[in-house]
Structure 1
Amino acid sequence: MADALATCDMPTVIEGVRAARGWSQGELAQALTYSQSWVSRVVNGQQSLTVSQVHDLARRLEIPLHLLRFGGTGDGPDTGATEAPGAPGCTREPNEVGTRTPGAGAREEPAASGRNPVRRRDPARPVTGGAATVPGRPSGGQEVHHGINETTAPALRSITGGQRRMDATSPARHLLPSAVAHVHLAEQMLGNARGTVFHTELSAAASEASGFAAWLSADLGDMGSARMHYRTAVVRARQAGMRLLDVYMLGSLASFEIDVAEDPELGLGLVQEAEHVLGPSAHPTARAWLACIGALAHAGLGDRVSAARAIRRAEREADSPDNAQPPWPWVFSFDRAKVAGYRALVGVRLRSPHDARAAFAEAVAPAPRNVKQSALLKVELASAHAEAGDVDEAFRLAQEALTTGVRFDSERVVGRVRSFRRRYRGPRAHCVEDLDGRLSSLVTGIPISG
């Protein structure tokens, strides 16, 4: 450990602290507030670190900064070396911080590895001089790569977060142009970050931006654009090496194919791929959510047994004592009430109205903050009431959903109401004629006569 501190061999330092404290690598990542995949790359010497990242990791692991010497010998600064900010007497060598050296002497990283060539040296060999440089940062301390630095990814993610919050109260057609422009910006920043330590975080930010653009496109009925953005979101999540983000985007694409594109077979294939990526020991929230999407796919294929099995699996995961705090990118834990909501949707698709209505009643969680999501649920509940013969209540709910769809120009909601009306084969009551009149008015643009 003393040698590792003296040469700023951060992989050895971090692994030593982990072993001394008896942590798993997941617990280490949690303590550092970085993703487990990123920590794994650092420990394995595959992820270079900036000076500021070294300082941050040292602070989180409670390692006194004066013990870390960026290539120094432990007796003071080497001749010609510059002092690291915030760590008097800590010298920095003229290459990346925190990467292991497989052999002695300097060498060039082969171009076939996909990395930029980086000079490496034996950690025991003293530095003879030169100012410090880290990826994306010249010796003068000014950022290169068109302004990419540690604030770029958080800034992009903050913009996506703000757009998501506006989705609850704004029509998708108002948000989509800025969301698509934001996707282009994120992709540009990602390209500029190639070869820097910021590439991973920017891949994740680009994934989130594309995922939101996909959601808006689906809301407007633009299936081709929605599918394109979802696939980009999956690719970027995979490039980021963040398993849960990868699963989240795959599951979102699966949900789109099942619920919007009405292709449960394709959706089920995507769910199975996501389950393979997720693995058996993942967080219960992720497993419960994915099981519910799988249940919808099975229900769409008419497989009652598999749908019921998936719902029971989701309930077990939701009841797990480890399900209290959801992992990013999930915001809320996936509890029993949310599983009940999916059980209700399964009941609608399997034409089991009484089961569906009972499940809707069990889903006692607060109404969604997003009114468009609430409208979609009303249409599903309307279908359950219609199947049970409660026509007046079914069409009342459909009318409320249609009002929301028109107000927010949501083709997804309006289309769902149209689909509900096409499936209805019951008596032609006044409430049915009223809905037909409104749907006709939307097509012709002619107001309903008084």
Structure 2
Amino acid sequence: MAAALASCDIPTVIEGVRAARGWSQGELARELTYSQSWVSRVVNGQQSLTVGQVRELARRLDIPLHLIRFGGLPQEGTILGPAPTRRRPAGGTLVPGGIVLPNFPAPGEHTGHHGVDETTAPALRSITGGQRRMDATSPARHLLPSATTHVHLAEQMLTSSRGTPFHTELSAAASEASGFAAWLNADLGDMGSARMHYRTAVIRARQAGMRLLDVYMLGSLASFEIETAEDPELGLGLVQEAEHVLGPDAHPTARAWLACIGALAHAGLGDRAAALGALRHAEREVSGPDNAHPPWPWVFAFDEAKVAGYRALVGVRLRTPHEARAAFAEAVAPSSRNVKQSALLKVELASAHAEAGDVDEAFRLAQEALTTGMRFASERVMGRVRSFRKGYRGPHATCVEELDNRLSTLVTSVPDNG
């Protein structure tokens, strides 16, 4: 194993890990989220690998890259595959398993290129993570200027990294930065900027060669088109593209999450059977034993309670209020730390109560959501409340008039830019 690590003999490394952990080849395939036939070809030296795939396999098997003497990586897109001859290629090294690698410097030998080194991508990703945590309790308008500047910085670092071993990781960091900027723009109602940043996030994820990040950004764009832009048909097309990229043998968390987003799209199109079928598929995925540990970039496991939350949203869109309210009761209560997300769910629950005839409770929830939306200047939240009011067709009670008066102040009052 030491010799295989030192020479980047990936087939031997993977087979050694499998044997050491007592896995069958099928269990190894599930751990790597690839098909068993694909893994078999890799282990037998019959499958070419990209640099991105080598990175992903090492990460999933908890193998530090420096142990594979892979401290220097070529740009994503380089194929590490069976060598056509046994001659040493010019400018490269022929290693066991038929993999041809350029001659890389040893770990620590890189001195950086235009200020880029092995610490650049982790630093950028740490900044994005900090901004995401602040989003739970801060107005998007306060975070957006720094987030936009951060996107520009990430793009500059990515440009500087061309031709260096750090391009792949910086592509992923730039993808995450753009994805967060998209989220903030959507919260402020800037649909064009949100869409542009989401598309950039998808492109950068693909440049990184990280399949799950690609799928995560595609799914996020799909969710934006379905829920914020109210274009379920476009969103469904993006979900289908993400499912194609993901493949049938991916981690259950990713498959369940995509199925739930697809259920929202089907519900938005009025296709009850397809929506419920997608939810059943998600429930099957989350109930399996392989769903215990979510893959990056998912942070938390996608479990039965999360699916129940989507079932509630689907019930609202299909105008089945009793099913929706029952599903809301099963779902995990929104975190008090993320008050904006909590407000969005309150509007959805308000719709279910209004459809069931519980007008006072519906408008109480809508009022609470509107308070949060105004506090954080969240156009996403306030827009959902407006949509709720526009769709209400019940009696004109006092609570309805009170909400109308508050919505009117959004148009007539002077905004507080503090």
Q: After the TM superposition, which residues 106-117 of structure 1 pair with which residues of structure 2 at under 5 Å, given as runs? A: none
The question of whether the paired residues in 2 share the 8 Å contact of 1:190 and 1:206 is answered with: yes
Match of 1:418 among 377, 386, 393: 386
- 1:236 alignment partner AA: R
Q: Which protein shows a greater Rg?
A: 1
The question of whether the paired residues in 2 share the 8 Å contact of 1:288 and 1:315 is answered with: yes
Please provide the CA RMSD for this pair: 3.7
Aligned to 2:13: 14
State the alpha-carbon separation in 1 of the partners of residues 288 and 319 from structure 2.
30
Q: After the TM superposition, which residues 14-163 of structure 1 pair with which residues of structure 2 at under 5 Å, given as runs? A: 14=13, 17-18=16-17, 21=20, 27=28, 44=48, 46-47=50-51, 102-103=84-85, 119-120=91-92, 134=104, 141=109, 143-163=111-131
Aligned to 1:402: 370
Q: Displacement, 1:8?
A: 3.5
Aligned to 1:80: none
Q: Displacement, 1:123?
A: 7.0
Q: Displacement, 1:364?
A: 3.6
Of stretches 381-390 and 16-25 in structure 1, the one that deviates more from structure 2 is 16-25
State the alpha-carbon separation in 1 of the partners of residues 126 and 348 from structure 2.
33
Aligned to 1:367: 335
The question of whether the paired residues in 2 share the 8 Å contact of 1:164 and 1:212 is answered with: yes
The question of whether the paired residues in 2 share the 8 Å contact of 1:47 and 1:197 is answered with: no
TM-score (normalizing by structure 2): 0.81
State the alpha-carbon separation in 1 of the partners of residues 87 and 413 from structure 2.
77
The question of whether the paired residues in 1 share the 8 Å contact of 2:350 and 2:362 is answered with: yes
- 2:229 alignment partner AA: A
Aligned to 2:134: 166
Q: After the TM superposition, which residues 230-309 of structure 1 pair with which residues of structure 2 at under 5 Å, given as runs? A: 230-309=198-277
Does the C-alpha gap of structure 1 residues 325 and 169 become closer, same or farther in structure 2, counting only changes over 3 Å? Answer: same
Q: Displacement, 1:196?
A: 1.9
Listed as ranges, the gaps of 5+ residues in structure 1 are 71-83, 85-97, 109-118, 125-131
Q: Displacement, 1:100?
A: 8.0
State the alpha-carbon separation in 2 of the partners of residues 167 and 232 from structure 1.
21
Listed as ranges, the gaps of 5+ residues in structure 2 are 33-37, 72-79, 97-101
Aligned to 1:189: 157
Aligned to 1:178: 146
The question of whether the paired residues in 1 share the 8 Å contact of 2:334 and 2:341 is answered with: no
**1:71-108: CA deviation from partner (whole Å, max 9, x where unpaired):** xxxxxxxxxxxxx9xxxxxxxxxxxxx99865466755
**1:209-231: CA deviation from partner (whole Å, max 9, x where unpaired):** 11100000000000000000001
The question of whether the paired residues in 2 share the 8 Å contact of 1:136 and 1:145 is answered with: no
Does the C-alpha gap of structure 1 residues 25 and 161 become closer, same or farther in structure 2, counting only changes over 3 Å? Answer: farther
The question of whether the paired residues in 2 share the 8 Å contact of 1:376 and 1:401 is answered with: yes
Q: Displacement, 1:335?
A: 1.1
**1:156-197: CA deviation from partner (whole Å, max 9, x where unpaired):** 111000000000010000001111111111111111111222
Aligned to 2:303: 335
The question of whether the paired residues in 2 share the 8 Å contact of 1:103 and 1:122 is answered with: no
Which one has a larger percent helix, Structure 1 or Structure 2? 2
Aligned to 1:432: 400
State the alpha-carbon separation in 2 of the partners of residues 152 and 205 from structure 1.
9
Q: Displacement, 1:13?
A: 5.6
Identity of aligned residues (%): 72
Q: Displacement, 1:289?
A: 0.8
State the alpha-carbon separation in 2 of the partners of residues 190 and 69 from structure 1.
23
